[in-house]
Structure 1
Amino acid sequence: MNVNDIIHGFKLIKTDHVPEVASDTFEFRHVKSGARLLYLKNKDDNKVFSIAFRTPPTDDTGVPHIIEHSTLCGSRKFPLKEPFVELVKGSLNTFLNAMTYPDKTIYPVASCNDKDFQNLMDVYLDAVFYPVMLENPEILMQEGWHYEIEKQDEPLKYSGVVYNEMKGALSSPEDLLANEIMRALYPDTTYSKESGGNPAAIPSLTYEQFKEFHRKYYSPANSYIYLYGDMDIEEQLKFIDEEYLSNFDIVDVDSTIEEQKAFNEIKRVVADYPIGEAETTEAKTFLSYSVVAGDTDEVEDLLAMSLLEEALLKNHASPLRMALIESGIGQDVSSSFEGAMLQPFFSIEMNGSEPQHADKFVDIIRTTLAKIVKEGIDRNLLEGTLNRMEFRLRESDFGTAPKGLIYNLTLMNSWLYDRDPLIMLRYEDLLVSLREKLSTRYYEDLIQNKLLDNKFGALVVLKPSVTMAAENTKKMEEQLAKVKAGMTPEEIQGLIDAAAKLKKRQQTPDSPEALATIPLLKISDINPKARVFPLEEKEIDGVKVLFSDVDTKGIVYYSVYFDMDVIPQELVPYAFLFNDLMGRVDTKSNDYVELSKKMTFYTGGMGGDIDVFPIAGKPDEFRPMFRLTSKVFYRNLPIAVELMNEVINETIFENDTRLKELIIQSKVGMEMEM
């Protein structure tokens, strides 16, 4: 394929090679519909397809989120109530989902099986372009909201999948805090709106508004199609063109994301979040200090800011984290650098605090950062953090998520804003540059310019309220009572009938004809041979060693397992705490700060875990194991083994202040999960 060639309706705009992701890249534009398509060609058999749309909300009704749910409720080719529930019964997918972001909606799938991949792609494309929801208002009722009532004398209630989901989400302090930060930083742009939906606003969404949003934004001209992996690209282009895109013409879609004008001073926002009426409000305030720290174009600075966030706040040797924890004004510190938006922001958060500590919180941040700028950042900590960042980038290990999917989400951070989609994948030159800048004042200057001198930010104080939940419920009930009072008995009966009809639809099985439309894999579509992974059992000094010789790009994954049968039953509940403390407290050779620096400098991470394994051939027996793991470049393996030995055999549990800090952090984390 050559640039300017037209292959099955797609014009090849640009070709390239990105060694960081071992891929040749092909950027296309569909001539008739205007759809963009990017293909990353490589030898990965875990193929990924996604289609994304730029979907900036203009209100808090959650219409992008509701449409994301609703498109998956039947389509032209697959007229089932929930085609994806049936599809996964006969699929070998490695990923199947849809996600709503503040400014985009993405529909990704992945599979290692060619036939399965084709099936998934077909169902997803039909869902986004030809959803049944455009002809059936009951889908909005089900996925968005509707009035729930069964008898004339009953009160009205709101119900709906997204309504209930967001009602739960926005009672969570973390979600409410994130919402308040976005509203404070971007008051004049789409980012101030809740793309997921605010329960107070969701019931104002009409069916016409719902359909209009889809009509406007779910056009191929506003789409970003992504293909990744080892496949016949011409066959895929032919399918996408003939089955879908050839049916559309180019239209002008105004989905531009507007920039927020910078502030002249740091904003201050105070808001509440609900807690139980029987709970105490003591030590339950959240404090956050956030600044807009650049533009998506500033790739090197953005990577450096992400590096600084980790060095300053994520490590147990991080100076800003230590200063905040040791101040005693809160129980735990978290942070984030949000780069998946047009104007990324840097945020520092403390929980377990009090409203009156807000000014001291800011003062500690500014004083500590000013001291760091003056005296310089510990270069070992900074270089260690850079080493760990390089480790993650080269490793490309994203747990259960296919790496092709993560590359997709990464490149959307520039592609969505009409920038070069590949710029976010190229990290080699950036790493070289960031390493060279360790000998300069680049990082100190970045702190000064982006964090200290920057007035484009906000201080958010989120306070607990024992009355807020009841007040919100009362307000909603009064609104619903007012709505019902303005209705005639016939109108109320109409709502009763509509709710009953919806319930009947939900409970009625799909017809055999509808079920037959779902493409399912046959036994003949599946390779009968299992993939074999090499595993060799050895013995070293009387200890069993399992060794797997596979290509890991020079990285050694090293784990030591200990049998937990020796722990008395009454102490088992404390095993998790022991696990939390390992590697985070002093040892005979190093205090926890120095130990953390060494782990950061020499390894890609070290930590503990508790696993329970079934015993082969004995289905009723299990074996609990404590596992200490590390990952390290081969050249540093001896040092990593020494550090692990130090953690196992030299840990000292005598620093009461440090132990209390960690136990409180564990407690706060458990409370937040609850």
Structure 2
Amino acid sequence: MEVNDRIHGFCLKHKEYIHEVDSTAYTFEHEKSGARLFFLANDDDNKVFSISFRTPPVDDTGVAHIVEHSTLCGSRKYPLKEPFVELVKGSLNTFLNAMTYPDKTMYPVASRNDKDFQNLMDVYLDAVFYPNMRENPQVLMQEGWHYEIEKKEDPLAYSGVVYNEMKGALSSPDDLLESRIMHALYPETTYGHESGGDPEAIPDLTQEKFIAFHAKYYHPSNSYIYLYGAMDIEEKLRYLDEEYLSHFDRISVPSKIDLQPAFSHLKRETVPYPVSEEEGTDEKTFLALSWTTGQSLDHKAMMGLEILEHALLRTPAAPLRKALIDAKLGRDVDSIFETDMLQPFFSIIVNNAEPERLDDFYHLTMTKLQQLAENGIDRELLEASINLMEFRLREADFGSAPKGLIYGIRIMKSWLYGGAPETYLRYEDLLQEMKDGLSGRYFESLVETYFLANPHRSLLAMVPDTQMAARREKEQQKKLAAKKAAMSDAEIEATIAATQALKLRQQSPETEEALRMIPVLKLSDIRKESYPLPLEVRDLGGTKVLFSDVHTNGIAYLNLYFDASAVTEEELPYLYLLSELLGMVDTEKHTYAELANLRNLHTGGIASDVVVYTRNGEPDSLLPKLRVRAKALVKRLPELMALLQEILTESRFTDEKRIREL
């Protein structure tokens, strides 16, 4: 395929090989519907599909979140109440979910089985374009909110999946803090609204507004389709065109994200959050200093700021963190650097503080940032943070999440705002620019530009209020009582009937006819062979070494297993404690802070734990081991070995204060 080729209604706009993800990237546009499509072709059999829509909320009703839930409640081809519950029973998916962000909604799936992958794609596409929620008002009642009453004498109540979910989420101080920071920084744009939904505003969402939101944004012209992995792309393009996209005409969708006009000065705010009376309010305040930091389209600045966040705030040797901890403003220091939005923000947070420390927190933070900009940031500290970022990017290890899924989320940092989708997949040149920046004032200039000279900042105190929950509950009961008092007997009876009908729908089993619609895998669709795990036994100076020859992008992974069978049952808790302390205390040569910096500088991490194995064929045997896991770029193996030797043979367990802290 070459640029400007037309394949099944799609025009190929751009094609290039991206070394960092070992993939060929194809950017398509569906000419009739206006759908965008980005495909990363490689030999990874863990295939990923996602369809996303730009969905900027204009209020706090959580409509984007409720629509995300509701599209998955049955569709034209799959008219079940919850097709995904049934689909999962006959699927080999490696990922299946949907996510609401402040400005977009994503529907990703992944599978290593070709037929399963096709099934998942079809159920998702039918769900987003032809959901039953448009005709069935019970979907909004179930997933969003509804009035609930079972007997005429009962009080009226609110219920609904998202309503209850957000009531729980926004009672968590951490979630609430991020919401309040965004509200303070973006008062005039979509980012000032709670995309998940504020329980006080969710009941303002009507069926008409709910349907209108879907109709406005869930159109191919506002869609971003992503495919990743080893697949027949021409067959997938034909399917997308024939089954879905060719049935839509291109339209203009007003979903552009507006920029928040810059503040001229610091914005101060104090907001309450609920705590129980038993908890009390002593040292329960959160202090947050936040800035908007340019635009996510500036990938270089975003990478630089991420490195700065780690160097200044996220290691034991971080100077800004240390200054805030030493000043005893609170018990802990945290940070947020949110880049999954057009206008990212950076927050420095002190937990377990008091409101009267707000000014001290602000002045100390700004003074320390000024000193760092003027006197320079420790180069070894910055180099360690760059090394850690390089390691993470090269490793591309996202735990249980397929890496193709994370790449699909990452590309939206530019693609959603009109940038090239591949922007955030590249990193080699930028990493070199970061390393080159160590010889000049690049990182100090970032501090000056985005923190010191940037007036678009907010200073927030989120203070505990023991009466807030009770006050809200009382206000809500009063509001619901007034609503019920204004209802006629017929309206109350209708609400009781609607409550009963919804519960009946929820409790009714799916019909056999509807269940037959769900595509499930047969045994013949599943590979019978296990995936090969290469393993070779070697002898290295009398030590048995198990070696796996696999592509690791230049990273060496090392596991050491120490026989722990001599540890008695009574001593076992101390073995676990030892595994927690290794690498976190001073050694003969270095303090724990210096050690942390060396670890970040030369490795991708060192960790230890206690594991138990059994002998092959002897299920009742017991082989306890102290396991030490380490990883580093191959060129850094000598430094890794020296650090391991130091940590394992020279750790000092005499600093009682440090051990108590840990």
Q: Aligned in 2, Cα 1:492/1:620: closer, same or farther, shift over 3 Å?
A: farther
- Amino acid aligned to 2:344: P
In structure 2, what is the Cα distance between the partners aligned to 1:230 and 1:402? 14
Q: Detail structure 1 runs of 4+ shifted over 4 Å in the superposition.
A: 537-545, 562-580, 610-626
1:6 positional shift: 1.7
- Amino acid aligned to 2:345: F
- 1:312-461 → structure 2 map (5 Å cutoff): 312-461=312-461
Task: Give 3-state SS (helix, strand or coil) of 2:347's partner.
Answer: strand
Identity of aligned residues (%): 56
In structure 2, what is the Cα distance between the partners aligned to 1:34 and 1:513? 35
In structure 2, what is the Cα distance between the partners aligned to 1:660 and 1:549? 42
Match in the other structure for 1:29:
29
Count of paired positions: 662
The Cα offsets for residues 444-480 of structure 1, whole Å up to 9 and x where unpaired, read as 1111111112111111111122211111211111111
Match in the other structure for 2:148:
148
Larger deviation, residues 339-348 vs 562-571: 562-571
1:643 corresponds to 2:648: no
Match in the other structure for 2:475:
475
Larger deviation, residues 10-19 vs 259-268: 10-19
In structure 2, what is the Cα distance between the partners aligned to 1:471 and 1:614? 57
In structure 1, what is the Cα distance between the partners aligned to 2:425 and 2:356? 44
1:504 positional shift: 0.7
- Amino acid aligned to 2:248: F
1:51 corresponds to 2:51: yes
8 Å Cα contact 1:316/1:584 also seen in 2: no
Match in the other structure for 1:666:
none
Match in the other structure for 2:196:
196
In structure 2, what is the Cα distance between the partners aligned to 1:624 and 1:283? 43
In structure 1, what is the Cα distance between the partners aligned to 2:152 and 2:620? 54
Task: Give 3-state SS (helix, strand or coil) of 1:110's partner.
Answer: strand
Match in the other structure for 1:670:
none
In structure 2, what is the Cα distance between the partners aligned to 1:435 and 1:292? 25
Task: Give 3-state SS (helix, strand or coil) of 2:418's partner.
Answer: coil
In structure 2, what is the Cα distance between the partners aligned to 1:386 and 1:370? 22
Match in the other structure for 2:297:
297
Match in the other structure for 1:597:
597
1:628 positional shift: 2.8
- Amino acid aligned to 2:214: H
1:426 positional shift: 1.4
- Amino acid aligned to 1:93: N
Match in the other structure for 1:669:
none
1:608 positional shift: 3.2
8 Å Cα contact 1:111/1:117 also seen in 2: yes
**TM-score scaled to structure 2, two decimals?**
0.96
Larger deviation, residues 408-417 vs 555-564: 555-564
- 1:486-501 → structure 2 map (5 Å cutoff): 486-501=486-501
The Cα offsets for residues 55-78 of structure 1, whole Å up to 9 and x where unpaired, read as 000010101001111111100001
8 Å Cα contact 2:297/2:413 also seen in 1: no
8 Å Cα contact 2:181/2:290 also seen in 1: yes
Larger deviation, residues 532-541 vs 38-47: 532-541
Task: Give 3-state SS (helix, strand or coil) of 2:430's partner.
Answer: helix
Match in the other structure for 2:280:
280
Larger deviation, residues 30-39 vs 538-547: 538-547
In structure 2, what is the Cα distance between the partners aligned to 1:637 and 1:120? 43
Task: Give 3-state SS (helix, strand or coil) of 1:212's partner.
Answer: helix
In structure 1, what is the Cα distance between the partners aligned to 2:261 and 2:452? 19
Q: Aligned in 2, Cα 1:620/1:462: closer, same or farther, shift over 3 Å?
A: farther
Q: Aligned in 2, Cα 1:373/1:250: closer, same or farther, shift over 3 Å?
A: same
Q: Aligned in 2, Cα 1:659/1:330: closer, same or farther, shift over 3 Å?
A: farther
Match in the other structure for 1:309:
309
- 1:176-215 → structure 2 map (5 Å cutoff): 176-215=176-215
Q: Aligned in 2, Cα 1:471/1:561: closer, same or farther, shift over 3 Å?
A: farther
- Amino acid aligned to 2:551: D
Q: Aligned in 2, Cα 1:298/1:507: closer, same or farther, shift over 3 Å?
A: same
- Amino acid aligned to 2:35: A
In structure 2, what is the Cα distance between the partners aligned to 1:138 and 1:616? 55
Task: Give 3-state SS (helix, strand or coil) of 2:333's partner.
Answer: strand
- 1:64-75 → structure 2 map (5 Å cutoff): 64-75=64-75
Q: Aligned in 2, Cα 1:437/1:561: closer, same or farther, shift over 3 Å?
A: same
8 Å Cα contact 2:291/2:457 also seen in 1: yes
Task: Give 3-state SS (helix, strand or coil) of 2:13's partner.
Answer: strand
In structure 1, what is the Cα distance between the partners aligned to 2:565 and 2:333? 35
8 Å Cα contact 1:324/1:361 also seen in 2: yes
Task: Give 3-state SS (helix, strand or coil) of 1:439's partner.
Answer: coil
Q: Aligned in 2, Cα 1:466/1:539: closer, same or farther, shift over 3 Å?
A: farther
Query: Which ranges in structure 2 are unaligned for 5 or more consecutive residues?
Result: none
In structure 1, what is the Cα distance between the partners aligned to 2:161 and 2:613? 36
**TM-score scaled to structure 1, two decimals?**
0.94
Query: Which ranges in structure 1 are unaligned for 5 or more consecutive residues?
Result: 663-674
Match in the other structure for 1:668:
none
Alpha-carbon RMSD: 2.0
